[in-house]
Amino acid sequence: MTYETIISVQDLIPNLFHPDWCVIDCRTVLEEPGLGFEFYCQSHIPGALYADLERDLCGQPNPGKTSRHPFPDPDIFAQKLSAWGVDKNVQVVVYDDADGGYAVRLWRMLGWMGHRAVALLDGGLNIWEKKGLALETGENKRPKCNFIADLNPHLLISSPEVSQIMDDPAFLLLDARSSQSYSGEKDPNSPTCGHIPGAIHFQYTQNLDREGLLLPIPTLIQRYKDLLNGKQAVVYCTSGVTASLNVLAIQHAGLDTARLFAGSWDEWISDSTRPVEKSYSNFGD
């Protein structure tokens, strides 16, 4: 069986040491780069590798033009996957300790690279620890292999494309940031507050229950089917990281594949001619 959206702790356990399974820890502390790796070395799921957001899952930012976390060059990322021992035969499982908000970045990137066998550990490290399951220390490595990319560029959307579809009734923009950032009330992470005109607020954490588990499929279907009403979802956040949880939830619900605005709010406001709205139009709050 291939897992392409989420996997439960119970389903991961019997496959934990399977040679064709690769678990990757994506814990991140934005304010202190490198601290996520320290946490990983101190304690992680047995056999897990570590992926650093800025070092492994991003390209070089271009201030004033790209987000602070741009997607990397696919050839460079393919080399990284090869070094991690990931090829077309490997089932990848990603996790973090922050509602999946960082691990989904790697989930979306692997899909973009043409690797469908990747799943988010439902509930992440928090559920693993809550169940009292084994942890280990130190750093792991896997035998290298040769990852061959088969890019799916249609999973992403660019700033010019967003400008074109803003008023297109066939599309719906979803803003996955906090309500304060969306409304323009307060955004400590951006120099400009507000949202892309026409975007609906649907914070990424609204896909989860109180334990941090993804909501049941019937609930997700009801929420997104009513919201999208047949439209193509285009999702963004601050820098193109956490919005992928909305993309995953839509895919898990079996609805039309959502597209990620990878440059997100960072890239949108890098051009002062692009419009910004500061009203509040929510869906799930």
Note the pLDDT tens digit of each residue in 58-82: 999 888 788 999 999 999 999 999 9
Q: Which residues contact 135 (CB under 8 A, 6 or more apart)?
A: 43, 44, 45, 46, 128, 129
Q: What is the spatial distance between Cα 162 and Cα 171, in angstroms, rounded to a whole number?
A: 10
pLDDT band (50, 70, 90) for residue 189: confident
Per the prediction, the chain carries an average pLDDT of 95
Choosing from 113, 133, 151, the residue where a domain stops is 151
CA distances from 262 to 34, 130, 266 (A): 23, 33, 10
The DSSP line for 202-249 is: --GGGGB-TTSPBPPHHHHHHHHHHHHTTPEEEEE-SSSSTTHHHHHH
Taking the CA atoms of 222, 227, 231 and 234 in sequence, report the sign of the dihedral they define: negative
Residue 279 placed within a domain: no
Q: What is the spatial distance between Cα 138 and Cα 192, in angstroms, rounded to a whole number?
A: 41
Same domain, 185 and 52: no
Q: What is the spatial distance between Cα 185 and Cα 194, in angstroms, rounded to a whole number?
A: 8
Phi, psi of 170 (to 5 degrees): -85, -10
**Structure confidence at residue 284 (pLDDT):** 47
Same domain, 128 and 36: yes
**Structure confidence at residue 282 (pLDDT):** 55
**Structure confidence at residue 185 (pLDDT):** 81
Taking phi over 0 as left and psi of -120 to 50 as alpha, with beta for the rest, 243 belongs to: alpha
**Structure confidence at residue 283 (pLDDT):** 52
List, by residue number, the catalytic residues.
237
Choosing from 98, 120, 151, the residue where a domain stops is 151
Choosing from 151, 173, 206, the residue where a domain stops is 151
This prediction's pTM: 0.95
Closest CA to 277 of 205, 213, 185: 185
- Per this entry, what is the length of the chain? 285
Same domain, 132 and 158: no
Residue 283 placed within a domain: no
Residue 274 placed within a domain: no
Identify whether the C-beta of residue 96 lies closer than 8 Å to the C-beta of residue 103.
yes
Whether the pLDDT of residue 20 is over 50: the answer is: yes
Pinpoint the alpha helices (H) of 32-91.
Answer: 35-42, 53-56, 74-83
Question: Structural domain of residue 200, as residue ranges?
Answer: 154-268
pLDDT band (50, 70, 90) for residue 280: low
80: domain CATH number?
3.40.250.10
Residue 280 placed within a domain: no
Same domain, 18 and 138: yes
Same domain, 119 and 173: no
pLDDT band (50, 70, 90) for residue 193: confident
pLDDT band (50, 70, 90) for residue 191: confident
pLDDT band (50, 70, 90) for residue 29: very high
CA distances from 101 to 113, 124, 177, 200 (A): 19, 10, 11, 19
Same domain, 30 and 42: yes
How many helices (H) does the chain have, and how many strands (E)?
A: 11, 10
Same domain, 84 and 181: no
Same domain, 26 and 144: yes
Residue 285 placed within a domain: no
**Structure confidence at residue 281 (pLDDT):** 59
CA distances from 107 to 3, 27, 38, 116, 181 (A): 11, 14, 22, 9, 25
Mean pLDDT of 40-44: 98
Same domain, 136 and 223: no
Same domain, 90 and 166: no
Q: What is the spatial distance between Cα 127 and Cα 167, in angstroms, rounded to a whole number?
A: 41
Residue 281 placed within a domain: no
